[in-house]
Chain A
Amino acid sequence: MAYVQLATAACGPVEIEENDIVTFPHGVPGFEEIHRFVLIKPEPELPFSYLQAVDELDLAFVVTDPFGFFADYEFELSEADQSDLSAEREDQLVVLTILTVRDDLAEATANLFAPVVINWETKKGKQVVLHDSGYSTKHPLLPAVAQEGRG
């Protein structure tokens, strides 16, 4: 198995398996030229990971499982997206949402409009766009956390 050392800006030096690199053929909007990412989970007890660019060590997104925070979240993957991901079965897929965390943590938001979908078997990824879904790029994370965490 081949290992790669990355000196990432977000979480320092990490060692990844080459097999774990996910290819985004179209990049992601705003970073269309960046095609290879890897998921890094620096703190296993936290429900957050980094989607770290392999070839641009300054670039990482904070991502989370949207269904953990937004219990009612659902969408249908378009045929074009399924084809891009070479997806045949739902259990091949992992859905993540990109978080924006500003200086004021209370304002952290989740982009439910454009979730990241990864096919773990083909190692292909895509940030899909949920046209006409009613979701936005900025759903407050904190109310969701407050509701989940209470009691």
Chain B
Amino acid sequence: MLVLARKKGESLIIGDNIEVVVLGTEGDTVRLGIKAPKEIQIHRQEVYKAIQESNQEASKSALHISNLAHLLKPKGD
């Protein structure tokens, strides 16, 4: 991993068109500003991972849909 030290207000350029600016720090939180083309998806890593995991689990559900029908039927039907 490339490690760089940056001061508040300084930035990095990634590739041709992505800029990451260090806006400031507060305790152990670093605030970053990111300038990137619209087609570049930017996610908080743990958020993206949570959705990945949710989708992976959900993808195993498809074969259960006939059972889901029973869920909506009144009991004793």
Give me the interface of A with B, judged by CB distance under 8 Å.
9-11, 25-26, 28-31, 42-43, 46-48, 50, 59-62, 80, 83-84, 98-102, 105, 108, 111, 113-114, 127, 129, 131, 137-138, 142, 145, 149
Q: Contacting B47 at CB < 8 Å: which of A48, A83, A129, A149?
A: A129
Q: How many A-B residue pairs have CB under 8 A?
A: 101
Contact A127 B51 (CB under 8 A): yes
Which residues does chain B contribute within 8 Å of A25, judged by CB atoms? 39
Give me the interface of B with A, judged by CB distance under 8 Å.
38-39, 41, 43-44, 47-48, 50-59, 61-65, 67-72, 74
User: What secondary structure prevails in chain A residues at the interface with B?
Assistant: loop
Which residues does chain B contribute within 8 Å of A98, judged by CB atoms? 54-55, 58
Most chain-B Cβ atoms within 10 A of its Cβ — which of A28, A60, A100, A149?
A: A100
Q: Contacting B62 at CB < 8 Å: which of A28, A50, A142?
A: A50
Nearest CB of chain B from residue A43's CB, rounded to whole Å:
7
Nearest CB of chain A from residue B35's CB, rounded to whole Å:
13
